[in-house]
Structure 1
Amino acid sequence: MGQYLVYLVEDEQNLSEVLKAYLEKEGWEVRVFNDGDAARDAIEDKPHLWILDIMLPGTDGYQLLKGIKENGDTPVIFISARDQDLDRVLGLEMGSDDYLAKPFLPQELIIRAKKLINRVYGSASQDQKKIELNQYLIDPVGRTVVDSEVSEEEIVDLTTKEMDLILLLTGEIGKAFSREKIIEHVWGENYFGSERAVDDVVRRVRKKMPRIHLETLYGYGYRVLSS
């Protein structure tokens, strides 16, 4: 999976040391924060993954999640020992990508983290070629879209989920994807919210990439056509 930067926010020192050791065994660089205020000041660093406890001294996990998502779309795993159902629902509604209830085995966190990182950053193999479509240059490896009609350096500002959607639909031009399949690919198997989230992301992509022929298949899903 390569070198990834993971920010772990956990005020229980023993637990944070154990989790840090497990994360580092994966070859990842890990920075630990024991209070929410210190983590808040590091939001602009934009690591590859945040792992947040909800109950923290100072700024709590919900406030941190809000700040992280306002500053981009870095993936977040929530961990909590409180009301599991309530925290899970609130966290996912606010934009967290996964949730783990305490107590959990460290290896379970590693499995979740690897799956999330692979989905967001590692799904493209190094031999995948760039896709040219209606003067957009889509790079599956670098996860960028350049609008060459404007400039060869004009990068379209897409969130993680918008990029996941574009890579899915342009990876197989003309193929129809159901909303269920899109949710599984973009949000993951643990997502249990409304399918309207797909329509919201599609709407944002159409606004940012107006020359992409992103067709709605009513009652089913979406596909991208070549022209």
Structure 2
Amino acid sequence: MYRIFLVEDEEHLNGVLSAYLESEGWQVRSFQNGGEGRQAIGERPDLWILDIMLPGIDGYQLLREIKADQPRLPVIFISARDADIDRVVGLELGSDDYMAKPFLPRELVIRTRKLLERVYGDGRQEAEARGRAQLLVPPYIVDEDGRTVRTEKGKAVDLTSKEFDLIVYFGRHAGQLLDREQVLAGVWGSDYYGSDRVVDDLVRRLRRKLPQLRLETVYGYGYRLVKA
């Protein structure tokens, strides 16, 4: 299921567009100002739809920050201002499509579908690609490409780079009994010469952030992630 973030400050239009997009089976999260949208950049949806004129942070600034975080993530710009100027500026900043208000909600759905297909391929290709890019570490979903971890309900979990590397390592070796030296080499590299106790410290931090993680401690040896 594609995840789409919509930033539109007109409440009625926001609701209408969200409903049309959700009718296609997509998961839609909507925001009514640029500040709310900015806070969600790290969650990395499959596509953003941005109004240019927003209270607080405008669509231009939001687009800059989205592209700085993930340059290839597709974005559709919508605006009621001067179409030619907004189209040119939006394209220069990295938007993938532009729609001038007023437009039919169905047109936005069609444009969105075509852009998703162009970027990710058809549904089958998307499923295959995501199957390779995602690790299931029940009850969490680990997106290796996007370097994100989510709960079953889609809520993002904020991890440091090393915490993310650790859960990926355990996920790739689910069911295997791993000693600290193996984890140390897999996460820190074979040229790391520090104490293997850093593994225990990182595991404690990971468990604190992912309390439902089914990671067993094998005393005197190491760890094992319970295989789903």
TM-score, normalised by the number of residues in structure 2: 0.55
The letter of the residue matching 1:108 is: E
Residue 24 (structure 2) pairs with residue 30 (structure 1):
no
Give the alignment of 1:92-107 within 5 angstroms. 92-107=91-106
Alignment CA distance shift 1:25-1:85 (3 Å): same
- Match among 37, 40, 63 for residue 39 of structure 1: 37
Distance in 2, matches of 1:156 and 1:25, equals 28
Structure ranking higher in helix proportion: 2
Displacement of 1:124 in angstroms is 7.8
Distance in 1, matches of 2:31 and 2:117, equals 24
The letter of the residue matching 1:44 is: G
Q: Secondary structure at the match of 2:129?
A: coil
Runs (4+) of structure 1 moved beyond 4 Å?
123-126, 142-145
Displacement of 1:122 in angstroms is 2.2
Contact 1:23 1:30 (8 Å CA) reproduced: yes
Contact 1:54 1:78 (8 Å CA) reproduced: yes
Counterpart for residue 112 of structure 1: 111
Please list the CA deviations of residues 44-72 of structure 1 after superposition, one character each: whole Å capped at 9, or x if unmatched. 11000100000000110000000000001
Distance in 1, matches of 2:145 and 2:21, equals 32
Counterpart for residue 21 of structure 1: 19
Q: Which has the larger radius of gyration?
A: 2
Displacement of 1:121 in angstroms is 1.2
Counterpart for residue 83 of structure 1: 82
The letter of the residue matching 1:106 is: P
Alignment CA distance shift 1:5-1:124 (3 Å): closer
Contact 1:53 1:61 (8 Å CA) reproduced: yes
Residue 62 (structure 2) pairs with residue 64 (structure 1):
yes
Please list the CA deviations of residues 169-226 of structure 1 after superposition, one character each: whole Å capped at 9, or x if unmatched. xxxxxxxxxxxxxxxxxxxxxxxxxxxxxxxxxxxxxxxxxxxxxxxxxxxxxxxxxx
Alignment CA distance shift 1:46-1:156 (3 Å): closer
Displacement of 1:74 in angstroms is 1.1
TM-score, normalised by the number of residues in structure 1: 0.55
Q: Over aligned residues, Cα RMSD in angstroms? A: 2.5
Give the alignment of 1:1-227 within 5 angstroms. 3-72=1-70, 73-123=72-122, 125-126=124-125, 141-142=129-130
Displacement of 1:43 in angstroms is 0.5
Q: After superposing the two structures, state which structure 1 stretch, 55-64 or 114-123, moved more.
A: 114-123
Distance in 1, matches of 2:55 and 2:19, equals 23
Distance in 2, matches of 1:26 and 1:48, equals 15
Distance in 1, matches of 2:123 and 2:101, equals 32
Unmatched tracts of structure 1, length 5 or more? 129-139, 146-154, 158-227
Paired positions, count: 135
Contact 1:124 1:141 (8 Å CA) reproduced: no
Displacement of 1:143 in angstroms is 9.8
